[in-house]
Structure 1
Amino acid sequence: MSSAKKIGIIGLGSYLPKKILANCDLEKMVDTSDEWITTRTGIKQRRIASKDEATSDLAIKAARAALKDAGLTAKDLDLIIVATITPDMQFPATACLVQKNLGADKAICFDISAACSGFVYALVTAEQFIISGVCKNALIIGAEKLSSITDWTDRNTCVLFGDGAGACVLAKVNSGGIVSRYLGSDGMNSDLLLLPAGGSRMPASSETVKKHLHFIKMQGNELFKLAVRIMSKAAEVALSKIGLSCKDIDILIPHQANIRILLAVAKKMGLPEKKIYFNIEKYGNMSSAATVIALCEAVRSKRIKKGDIVVLDAFGAGLTWGAVVIKW
């Protein structure tokens, strides 16, 4: 690994809505059961934002926690990137709303839409801004209110998703930092996971609302097979760029989509379960927020220590995927 000064995470924060929707609650809403959900997904409960909480509200709370952890103020920020597929509105960018509420008046602001890979994409993007000298630091946020685009009458999808936000502050560090990254996309499989209506292809109408086309649609079986293969490869490629292998991983922080996917990825990579961080049981799939919230929790619980090789690994709609290797 190069001895040149790296870009690293200097602060972390997260926010989870208070409301808990447990599997027993879903049993009263759709034809499902706790046993069915748990065995197929590993999820026991998920957090649901209140009606008056938008994605930017979740993002702001996570951002403030990350800034406090980094010892910075909003006025210090040069860049804000929000990774989300549930923006407050089509425009302006949710990052601009976060900027307004934080008072980060000198920051460049924009959103990234890469679904469940969004935080990893935003992390790599922000790293380039700092490497190039355009910015000295960056606030990266993964935030989602997936409950707003979930069809609560569809037993196959409504059991999967939850709301939340996580954030980190990036800057140059004296030791450790991001040591490798790998991103990929495959638009040929864009139809496997999407929200059909509301854009220029299919503008909102009474018909699209009646047909439930403003909710998440997914082909789970196909995604499962692709996720296992692509997530394992992404981590391996990122590690190989710096002469490492899966054996060198101290902890893998994967996108929390489905426990069966995560266990299959671990098996394919030859990783023992003790080297993987899981929190899907508590929160479900929070899309772009999942990986960063898991990272926050792993740090807080002392699962990550100085010098560890940490791999963030995500896969999502697009299709998009990415892995980032960090020396903590």
Structure 2
Amino acid sequence: MLMKGNCQIAALGTYFPKQVVTSRELMREIKSELHYGISEHWLSEVCGIDERRVASAEELPSVLAIKAAEQALSESGINARDIDAVIFCGISREWLEPSIAHKVQHELGCTNAISFDVSNACHGFMNGIIIADSLIQCSDATHVLVVTGEASSDITNYYVDKLRNNSASLQKELGALTLGDAGAAMVLTPKIDGRGFQYFNFYTNAKYTDLCKISLDKKGRYEGQMVMGKISSVGIRLHSALIEQTYLALQWQPMDIAHFICHQTGRKPHQRMSEVAKVSPQIMPVSYKHYGNITTATIPVNLYNVQATPNQRVLIAGAGSGISISQSGFIA
């Protein structure tokens, strides 16, 4: 599905918990060499993930999102009361209802904003952006706040306990060891002078839903699997089939791109995405090394980190289990 962009980024914000947990610590915890015949250095050497941030008990998903949003609002110069909509896009949440966006709206003082959640695995933030874009196009909304707060370390801790007791399949649960915690926020406003999002290209193939699926049983325990090698391979194949259509809509060539930002689960998929887009890995910022897979926060965090200069062209490739993917072009 191709959609023309109508919004631009007024500001971005990020937040990371202070606690750092290394990949070696996790692998040592599950006794990877004894139980699975895998080196303690495997996550670092093969996946490229050295460490990740872990939220404290007080750093709930809403708290991570609020801290990032405070930075984004401050840098945008937009008063919280002028925000027309708050969209929370995280996988993590501290309750089932109401939406986490309600807490974010209240704590920030966005008293005039409608609030709701959007959920679509790691792809949720990109879905939040196109919904914000549609609100800006089809209503009188002029300031939309898209936020996320991911505290996925509770999933990691659960599977570490299972793997420590040699009661799980490392191949199926390995993805849980790659996760990291973070908050991110983006303030979107109507596009002017040609800058901002140019086109969005979204695609879903639900045939692969079971490759990465986490649920809770009746006792509140996690169950499911995260077959990251397979889901990454399929995701890259889907991106490859879509990229020429995206370039055609944007009327861009690979050499036009200053920064290429994509969802990150580890080193190998990241490198392969440079081949898909036909761009140099040198223009692809890396977050997985120090933060792991920060799920819905990946795209906004990397957009924040590159600090694109005016008129630079940025290609964005989102992905999430299901499988959902997107490609979009943004002019800073």
Q: Same fold (TM over 0.5)?
A: yes
Work out the CA distance in 1 between the residues paired with 2:95 and 2:74: 28
Q: Which ranges of structure 1 fall in alignment gaps of 5 or more residues?
A: 198-203
Work out the CA distance in 2 between the residues paired with 1:307 and 1:265: 23
How far is 1:269 from its partner? 2.5
Normalising by structure 2, what TM-score?
0.88
The aligned counterpart of 2:218 is 205
1:196 to 2:225 alignment? no
Work out the CA distance in 2 between the residues paired with 1:265 and 1:102: 37
Work out the CA distance in 2 between the residues paired with 1:92 and 1:236: 41
1:256 to 2:264 alignment? yes
Structure 2 matches for 1:3-152, cutoff 5 A?
A: 6-32=6-32, 33-150=39-156, 151-152=159-160
Q: Which one of 180, 197, 202 corresponds to residue 162 of structure 1?
A: 180
SS at match of 2:123: helix
Q: Which one of 310, 316, 321 corresponds to residue 314 of structure 2?
A: 310
Q: Does the Cα contact within 8 Å between 1:235 and 1:313 map onto a contact in 2?
A: no
Q: Does the Cα contact within 8 Å between 2:179 and 2:294 map onto a contact in 1?
A: yes
| Higher-helix-fraction structure | 2
Work out the CA distance in 2 between the residues paired with 1:53 and 1:308: 35
1:194–1:134 distance in 2 versus 1, CA, 3 Å: farther
How far is 1:52 from its partner? 1.8
The aligned counterpart of 2:206 is 187
How far is 1:239 from its partner? 2.6
What is the aligned-residue RMSD (CA, Å)? 1.9
Q: Deviations over 1:114-154 (max 9, x none)?
A: 11111111111101100112411100113211112232234
Work out the CA distance in 2 between the residues paired with 1:235 and 1:77: 34
Matched to 2:325, the amino acid is W
How far is 1:238 from its partner? 2.6
How far is 1:325 from its partner? 0.8
Q: Does the Cα contact within 8 Å between 1:166 and 1:296 map onto a contact in 2?
A: no
SS at match of 1:90: coil
How far is 1:91 from its partner? 0.9
Q: Does the Cα contact within 8 Å between 1:120 and 1:312 map onto a contact in 2?
A: no
1:205–1:173 distance in 2 versus 1, CA, 3 Å: closer
| Range with bigger deviation, 120-129 or 58-67 | 120-129
1:233–1:14 distance in 2 versus 1, CA, 3 Å: farther
Q: Which one of 233, 237, 245 corresponds to residue 237 of structure 1?
A: 245
Normalising by structure 1, what TM-score?
0.89
1:236–1:46 distance in 2 versus 1, CA, 3 Å: farther
SS at match of 2:111: coil
How far is 1:34 from its partner? 4.7
SS at match of 1:165: strand
Matched to 1:255, the amino acid is H
Work out the CA distance in 2 between the residues paired with 1:30 and 1:5: 46
What is the percent sequence identity of the aligned residues?
25
Work out the CA distance in 1 between the residues paired with 2:227 and 2:5: 43
How far is 1:233 from its partner? 4.1
Q: Does the Cα contact within 8 Å between 1:5 and 1:172 map onto a contact in 2?
A: no
How far is 1:195 from its partner? 0.9
How far is 1:185 from its partner? 1.2
SS at match of 1:115: coil
Work out the CA distance in 2 between the residues paired with 1:5 and 1:144: 27
SS at match of 2:250: coil
The aligned counterpart of 2:235 is 227
The aligned counterpart of 2:35 is none
